[in-house]
Structure 1
Amino acid sequence: MQNNSNSKARTLASNLTVVVIGAGAWGTTLAKLADAGGHEVRLWSRRSGDRLQPLLEGADIVVSAVSMKGVRTTVEQVRQAGVAPHTIFVTATKGLDPDSGSPEQLPLLPSQLWQTAFPAHPVVVLSGPNLSKEIQQGLPAATVVASQDIPSAEIVQLALSSPSFRIYTNPDILGVELGGTLKNVIAIAVGTCDGLQLGTNAKAALVTRGLAEIIRVGTCWGARPETFYGLAGLGDLLATCNSPLSRNYQVGYGLAQGKSLEQVLAQLEGTAEGINTTQVLVKLASQQGIPVPISHQVDRLLQNKITPQAAVEALMLRDYKPEMEEREVES
């Protein structure tokens, strides 16, 4: 069955028209991957002033690589322009919608915004340890495409794969999307740790407990725990927490150097999605009674309510407890 599915996907994934929305570093990288695969690629920037509708005509795949704050506007622009009935949507945005979420309702993720607007179309999430500058240099990397429609995920897998960019499929769209989103908060904390030169032991502890925090939130929200041990969870966390190329890491590092958040952002190339994600996550986790100690300290740090040194001290002075909580053991 798998071979038949792959064979059909290979047939459907040849000579595609791929529209990439968002001409930043990641959108440009994905456009180059599609072009290298021999597909017709159309790249659109929201700032270009060009009309979107002509670019969407006949599109087989539409890739959204815009920042979280631009997703709602982009979805509406695409909805108004219209797409072909067979179009597959791919979202490569990592964030939580700030205009949704309550104790009774989870915050909307980018894929959910796309799926709500286009209920008859398959939506695929692309997420993993993908530093765009390294991929542009041709260095080896891997990622995950997740969807409830696996045949569509397989088409995207084949359309964007290259000898140096390996793509895996996963049916847990929620877990893959949350893994890529929540790790940005932990990356800010780890950047702070490195900026304070607290050493490898402290960093290892922070990354490990950060993963536990991600799993705790993700499973409470309905994701599969095993997804967070894969590329879109642990893999993405390790890449983001170990590279100065990570914008979220740079935020934490800059704050630890005594810079204000405004100064850090002024020097940043692109958007650090972890800042918005932290605010939305901490608010909702508090309402739902989900312990997020690392995210809580990151939130206080971003709001200038605490110094980097005091944030680390607050984490180290927490009550003693077992490493594995009951909920984590059960999952």
Structure 2
Amino acid sequence: MTTRNQGYFTEENSAEVVTGQIGPDTDPRLAEVMAAIVKHMHAAVKEIEPTQEEWLTAIKFLTETGHKSDDWRQEYILLSDILGVSMLVDAINNRKPSGASESTVLGPFHIPDAPELPMGANICLDGKGAPMLIKGRILNTKGEPISGAKIDVWQTNDDGFYDVQQKGIQPDFNLRGVFRTGSDGTYTFWGAKPRFYPIPDDGPVGKLLGNMGRHPFRPAHLHYIVSADGYEELVTHIFDPDDEYIGSDAVFGVKESLLAKFELIEDAEQIKAANQTGPYYEVVHDFVLAPES
């Protein structure tokens, strides 16, 4: 390994000296990434001018963040979420053609083996919460229905928890299901009206949120993964526009195009036609898939 003399370190040329030590045989992408990180990190430090104590506080925060992470909980992803980095990476990697539905973050509570159910099935297995009918169409960018589209859905219960967070309390696969569209591209299923819930805030990231005067809540939403042969997979949500946290999602996952009207149905004839015993909510939202690149 050869040494590289890039000059002596000063406050003014710090980034150039450090990036100058990157060897000529370094993987080009790694060299590009590290040069950008060093450049912007040094610029931030020069702007902030941290004290030694503040620098050590930052080191301790990163150490605590690592200690809080395990196979179940990734505190660094949570940090990425609350800084908007997760959503920015998602946006960069999911640029869509005009007319296609927008994506948002996957979230940590998807499981791959939810049961496939017939259209119109009820995914709310414990009967808690206000009944909600969810329906719409899966279309392509030409407005044509997509047959055989797979729709993987999941949501929280009325208490703001996913089933995997309450093993032994909620039934397995509560408020989860997989559906496939017919030739008309329509989908329909019953669930329960979701509610807002907090991201895990008992660790260093939660403490940071509090120190910044921010809350940990995500507004009420349903998760979707929509896929079909010949089309790009869509990972997205639909949100309740009337939720109190709709304008301040802790992980910045809300996009205007993903707002869906959660309409309360109180008309006696509609209630009867839906085989309900009382008022229920109805959400109608179409998804448009982009063709595979």
Q: What TM-score, normalized by structure 1, do the two folds share? A: 0.23
Q: Which has the larger radius of gyration?
A: 2
Which structure has greater strand proportion?
2
Which structure has greater helix proportion?
1
Q: What TM-score, normalized by structure 2, do the two folds share? A: 0.25
